[in-house]
Structure 1
């Protein structure tokens, strides 16, 4: 499935130390799961969490959901063993926290081989090196770590996230330039559906492929926000039909709803329809 159309609307963090949460995730309507060995696991549970996760992935049952394992940093006491174990777990990708340069991914790849890699973008140095990180040959996706980034930048919280916009935008440009997936950071107030919806819409309008989530209650909001709407699907179909009709008559442009439709609009329209089809396939 084309990564530009394969849905990553909802990317849910699951603590790998919690068997019940690992089991529940098998039936949640999420597009991807980040099985967390890092922040969601206390130091005294790190080794047990690794074994628990390995057993859950071996058991399977996660269907079409993309399975991503987030390690502890390689400079931590657990990172090396996490990487060695994750490479054998049957996951789809490995997520490295606090990536500051392509060299961090090189160090991980020495352990995990040709496994697809994802990078947490959550430090000022990492943001400054976003273009080089996105260009790494094994990188498949980027995850915005907005909590850590806000801490490092010493910003104040604002609903419009203005203090984070420079970092978010730089990572978006890097990801889009290299054609890798990029998902937005978490929304901490998991009971605030209205605030989550607003931030999801903002992220979708900016170009993010989806949003990382911290609670199953957030899944539906993200799935709706990052999916093509019925109006978008209808417009896409009409744009394609009008352009095809114009092309058959020797014209290079068409008009839909009083607006010019060129080939670039048709490319976007076809991607919208392909994404809608992919969501239907994954949901089934």
Structure 2
């Protein structure tokens, strides 16, 4: 697991009193949301609150990003100008771009920001998925807006219906040499078993990070992203038994370079998630 953030917690931009709590929640990064979490009549107020609060705050210990309104919306230009100023003063690490559908979307954002700003592109439509390879190359990381995607396709928001899309994003990120994609939100904020299972399912496909909508989701999601005890025990047996690294038989199975590589990935994932829990 790359040491990039694994858990991104959304907080509504028009609730500035929640910013500090979100930053101290134990998430790896916070996304202050100007888009879906804010109704149209409160967009300007939310943007004003965002700028005032972050400019008055000290630089945070974890990355803070802003989800702006999408290209083509009435609020996009003002959002981009505001976040550009916040990035220039070191208040935010970058932005989340909703409904990314083309490289030109990313290039437009880059033109309005410092080149070092992180851009996470949310793939939320069929058009975005169709251009996943180019979007993954242009952005710093891609994320899956699963609920919006299901609505765009008029399909069920289920693992079976969204399997192809999730796998497609994992492959696009890998080919582009970018961090593993960020999986979409779990709608339940109270069912810890569901949250953990969703995170584990995404991780099993290669989505090694997750979007969260409530601090109560942090602990179960982190458990879901971590290797299971059985996986960790297996990796320890493999790594203890490989000797000089040549092919050997362990537990009655041939262990060669790809198996050893997987065992090392599990070991590293365990170290990363354990460090984040402490």
1:241, 1:207 → 2: CA distance? Answer: 25
* Number of equivalences: 271
1:93, 1:227 → 2: CA distance? Answer: 26
TM-score by length of 2: 0.88
Alignment partner of 2:31: what SS?
strand
1:265, 1:236 → 2: CA distance? Answer: 9
Match among 17, 20, 23 for residue 20 of structure 1 = 17
* Alpha-carbon distance, 1:280 to partner: 4.1
Q: What residue number does 2:76 align with?
A: 79
Contact 1:34 1:67 in 2 (8 A): yes
Q: What residue number does 2:152 align with?
A: 152
* Alpha-carbon distance, 1:7 to partner: 5.2
Contact 1:10 1:212 in 2 (8 A): yes
* Alpha-carbon distance, 1:281 to partner: 4.1
Contact 1:122 1:148 in 2 (8 A): yes
2:234, 2:51 → 1: CA distance? Answer: 45
- Render the CA deviation track for 1:9-50: whole Å, top value 9, x for unaligned: 322111111122212112211122211111101223222322
TM-score by length of 1: 0.87
Q: What residue number does 1:10 align with?
A: 7
Contact 1:6 1:279 in 2 (8 A): no
Q: Which runs of 5+ in 1 are unaligned?
A: none
Match among 32, 35, 38 for residue 38 of structure 1 = 35
Distance change in 2, residues 1:37/1:273 (3 Å): same
Contact 2:68 2:96 in 1 (8 A): yes
Q: What residue number does 1:142 align with?
A: 142
Alignment partner of 2:85: what SS?
coil
* Aligned residue runs from structure 1 range 54-93, under 5 A: 54-58=51-55, 59-60=57-58, 62-63=60-61, 65-89=62-86, 90=90, 91-93=92-94
1:279, 1:163 → 2: CA distance? Answer: 29
Contact 2:197 2:224 in 1 (8 A): no
Q: Cα RMSD between the aligned structures?
A: 2.1
Q: What residue number does 2:123 align with?
A: 121
Contact 1:7 1:209 in 2 (8 A): no
